[in-house]
Chain A
Amino acid sequence: MTKTVVPLHQVTIRFAGDSGDGMQLTGDRFTMDTASLGNDISTLPNYPAEIRAPQGTLPGVSSFQLHFADHHIQTPGDAPDVLVAMNPAALKANIRDLPRGATIIVDRDEFSPRNLTKVGYESNPLEDGSLDSYKVHAVALTSITVAAVSELNLTRKDAERSKNMFALGLLTWMYHRDTKSTENFLAAKFAKKPDLLAANLIAFKSGWNYGEATEDFAVSYEIAPAKMPPGKYRNMSGNVAISYGLIAASSRSNLKLFLGSYPITPASDILHELSKHKKFGVITFQAEDEIAAVGSALGASYGGALGVTTTSGPGIALKAEMIGLAVMLELPLIIIDVQRGGPSTGLPTKTEQADLLQVMFGRNGESPAAVLAPSTASDCFDIAMEAVRIATTYRVPVFILSDGYIANGSEPWRIPEVADLPDLRVEFAKSQENFLPYERDAKTLARPWAIPGTKGMEHRIGGVEKADKTGAISYDPVNHDLMVRARAAKVAGIEIPDLEVDDPNNDAKVLLLGWGSTFGPISAAVEALRLNGEKIAQAHLRYINPFPKNLGQILSKYDRVIVPEMNLGQLAMLLRSEFLKDITGYNRVRGLPFSTVELIEAAMAVLHD
């Protein structure tokens, strides 16, 4: 049977199922196969905080969305073109995001009266006509998989478990992906479990064959490779990119990397990743709590290592006092906050940008620290190196504000040449007479980094206010004023690049200004608005403390400035107070990244105000 092959420019697929159905793995595999075909990609994993929520219920639904295209894309896609729903709960939880005409592939076997009742379906949506405006493929996924692997004599449970590979096989056929890479992946994953390897391979192949052989699927699709700058690429998530950036910084600075961390979603993967790389001399220390995590990192910095701690919002709250000590000791320290929904435990697995004011001001006293925010998953690599440059040059704590979206989402990353990475070498203070621990460098205002083991440099530091130059305890009013201002001036004076504005004809009146992970959706919105003939400028802040020196001038150039943030207006508050500029906020805290469409609408409202 000859089947039609339709070329497409882009597709968004969402895999959804129980949190035990292996949807994240299925999505990851499809992403890898797609990335290696040269499509541009962007992904959005979305999963519940519970490891195994009750089966078949709405809170237990886990999903993985993948947007891939033959051109450059910025986001994981607003709305899926294809939904793979492994059960009624997955269908119900995701159907409202689907535009009419979208394709739905469901596991028909799971649509039993019991499962339907569990999620509140009064009738079977596969039969009651409620899905008439979609292209529905009701495939007996479970029973076909079980039948296909029957000769292996597996338990029913193990046999059913392979059904995610059936789904992957079917999608692999539909979009002309290569089967080799998943076959190799399975061979490695189940090397020690030949039965499960066989089951997964058979299920994967059966899914592929199902597409190829049955009349249910008459059309398959092809998406040509995207035009991307030449180079070597790999798929990269934000958490891995930060880990690699830290290892690269350690290598380029000749400083031992020390991570002190306490497990917390969604930051733990940085701890996991760095623990794998001991051969780089990386020390990972899983501390007893968040305070010990940052304390150990600061202790390591004191000894001349690159001290790093990773956490999320609740952890930052606990670390606050120790970060204040780092401000006082004027030692390098990297604090990575992979933000999640707050306050309190909030939404552990969902994304938000509401820790900005916490990292800016959440300490006692005048306690300035540098704040950086990566704009994409791959930018996490560069930001990590930049944070190390600032921390070691200026001897200050540096925050990196990532978030759940770019931490877990992934995109193609053009691998840099090692020789092109910045030189981050630093010098420790050398033995000298009359050493002054708090004598500042005239240019950077940094104090010497005098590490234990340096002969003749014995000195004492601490959290009590220091006398200028000598570092002795001082309660002198004039000295305190001087030191508070010196620490503030040091952070304010950190050298960073100017902010670049994308204003193609230099005639826009409205500026769309973002920070952190909103770069993708904002860029996609700007692109769409311009195609529509709108004049709009775009700029994106990677440096929040200090702000780029030209920021005030840029803000004053535009009549209106829109700042979309996944919080209730935190950057807007900083901008207003710093520059006395009115800001139009666009604020949503739903635990999800912005959609392109909503940002277009928000911008249109201002453009045609």
Chain B
Amino acid sequence: MTDIALTKKNFTSDQEVKWCPGCGDYSILSTVQSFLPELGVPRENIVFISGIGCSSRFPYYLETFGIHSIHGRAPTLATGLAISRPDLSIFVITGDGDALSIGGNHLIHALRRNVNLKILLFNNRIYGLTKGQYSPTSEQGKITKSTPAGSLDTPFNPISLALGAEASFVARSIDSDRKHLTEILRAASLFNGSALIEIYQNCPIFNDDAYQILKDGETKNSAILQLVQGQPIKSQTHGVIYQEGSMKVVELESVSESELVIHNANNPDPSYAFALSRLSASVLDHVPIGIFRNVSRAEYAGQVNDQIAEAIAEQGPGDLESLLTGGDTWEVK
């Protein structure tokens, strides 16, 4: 615990922030800086590790420990650090290209192991730093510099991918909704294991207004399906029901309130959260926002260190001399 209560200012580094004007990263940074004092963790025990991409500049702007690593590999450094230093609070900052394209392998393995990492995936559905090529979350048919005739790739749904990789804490938020993002960060920080937070983030230069439907007063009330624990899943106009074994978005007027699915992020069956994740795809007319899954299971680094503690408890601490002189030996006089 810290001696004096820290504030947002204490978590703001002296580096000039260099994102494009209007970038969604600014509001995410500001939200994170405001949230960190709440963690109650001394600054020196917090580490932000990023890969490559616009969002990966994030650690430079935080007055904590930080590594701006190489493309896609942040989870690998973070995993090694988390296992050897379970006392630290470690955040991974990544983007849709960094996490889902070049670093896809590391992301899924960090999630399945459940290493104590909070992974913030800034999803702007475009490559920004390399100036506007399509990303693994770009909608099919996307016209970009590298796909003048439209992209052919089926996009990833990051929430579905994370759930398929055995992630136990999976959530989605929006860059401009500071209150919501703060709530999600709070819940993630209470989760002991890998938490994946997909943050819809606007790139004003190469993919402007990709999430406008979730931001405009007129459309957002109908598009955002709030995931609130213990509450029916609905927007102001639509709700989610079970129909023929799967989930469906229907107009609220067409069903009674009692037919709506009551959200339970603690549902041990991952197919529940997976079904929720499939309610939205490239077209964002109905998008669940909030915590999809929050189910506790054994954390990885803790187990690694438990095995070591058990070995020491059973056999006593290692003695170098007995190691070196162990096995079949013989004496030469």
- Chain A interface residues toward B at CB < 8 A: 32, 35-38, 181, 225, 228-235, 244, 247-248, 251, 256, 258, 260, 277-283, 285, 287-289, 291-305, 307, 321-322, 324-325, 329, 414-416, 418, 452-464, 472-473
Which of A225, A232, A292 makes the CB contact (< 8 A) with B79?
A292
Q: List 12 A-B contacts (CB under 8 A).
A: A37-B330, A229-B332, A234-B328, A256-B84, A277-B323, A279-B318, A285-B79, A291-B76, A299-B79, A300-B83, A414-B332, A460-B60
Chain A residues in 8 Å Cβ range of B323: 244, 247, 277, 280
Q: How far is the CB of A172 from chain B (nearest CB, A)?
A: 15
Chain A residues in 8 Å Cβ range of B304: 283, 285
Chain B residues in 8 Å Cβ range of A280: 317-318, 320, 323
Looking at B66-74, B263-271, B273-281, B286-294, the stretch in contact with chain A turns out to be: B66-74
Task: Knowing A288-B106, A458-B43, A461-B66, say if A299 contacts B80 (CB, 8 Å).
Answer: yes
Whether B330 and A233, one on each chain, are in contact in the complex, defined by CB atoms closer than 8 angstroms, is yes
Task: Knowing A230-B332, A232-B331, A453-B45, say if A295 contacts B320 (CB, 8 Å).
Answer: no
Chain B residues in 8 Å Cβ range of A304: 84-85
Task: Knowing A292-B106, A418-B320, A452-B44, say if A287 contacts B76 (CB, 8 Å).
Answer: yes
Chain A residues in 8 Å Cβ range of B328: 32, 35-36, 181, 234-235
Closest to B73 in A: A295
Q: How far is the CB of A282 from chain B (nearest CB, A)?
A: 8
Closest to B313 in A: A279
Chain B residues in 8 Å Cβ range of A289: 105
Whether B68 and A460, one on each chain, are in contact in the complex, defined by CB atoms closer than 8 angstroms, is yes
Whether B64 and A458, one on each chain, are in contact in the complex, defined by CB atoms closer than 8 angstroms, is yes
Measured CA separation A453–B312 after assembly (Å): 25
Q: How far is the CB of B333 from chain A (nearest CB, A)?
A: 6
Measured CA separation A288–B64 after assembly (Å): 28
Whether B81 and A279, one on each chain, are in contact in the complex, defined by CB atoms closer than 8 angstroms, is no
Q: Does residue B175 face the partner (Cβ distance < 8 Å to A)?
A: no
Measured CA separation A35–B333 after assembly (Å): 15
Q: Does residue B15 face the partner (Cβ distance < 8 Å to A)?
A: yes
Chain A residues in 8 Å Cβ range of B13: 460
Chain B residues in 8 Å Cβ range of A279: 308, 311-312, 314-318
Chain A residues in 8 Å Cβ range of B37: none
Whether A278 and B307, one on each chain, are in contact in the complex, defined by CB atoms closer than 8 angstroms, is yes
Whether B80 and A35, one on each chain, are in contact in the complex, defined by CB atoms closer than 8 angstroms, is no
Whether A303 and B88, one on each chain, are in contact in the complex, defined by CB atoms closer than 8 angstroms, is yes
Whether B44 and A302, one on each chain, are in contact in the complex, defined by CB atoms closer than 8 angstroms, is no
Q: How far is the CB of A317 from chain B (nearest CB, A)?
A: 15
Q: Does residue B197 face the partner (Cβ distance < 8 Å to A)?
A: no
Q: Does residue B63 face the partner (Cβ distance < 8 Å to A)?
A: yes
Whether B70 and A288, one on each chain, are in contact in the complex, defined by CB atoms closer than 8 angstroms, is no
Which of B83, B316, B330 makes the CB contact (< 8 A) with A296?
B83
Measured CA separation A292–B46 after assembly (Å): 22
Task: Point out which of B60, B66, B105, B320 has the most chain A C-beta atoms below 10 A from its C-beta.
Answer: B320
Q: Does residue B130 face the partner (Cβ distance < 8 Å to A)?
A: no
Measured CA separation A247–B66 after assembly (Å): 29
Measured CA separation A473–B320 after assembly (Å): 43
Q: How far is the CB of B41 from chain A (nearest CB, A)?
A: 11
Whether A472 and B44, one on each chain, are in contact in the complex, defined by CB atoms closer than 8 angstroms, is no
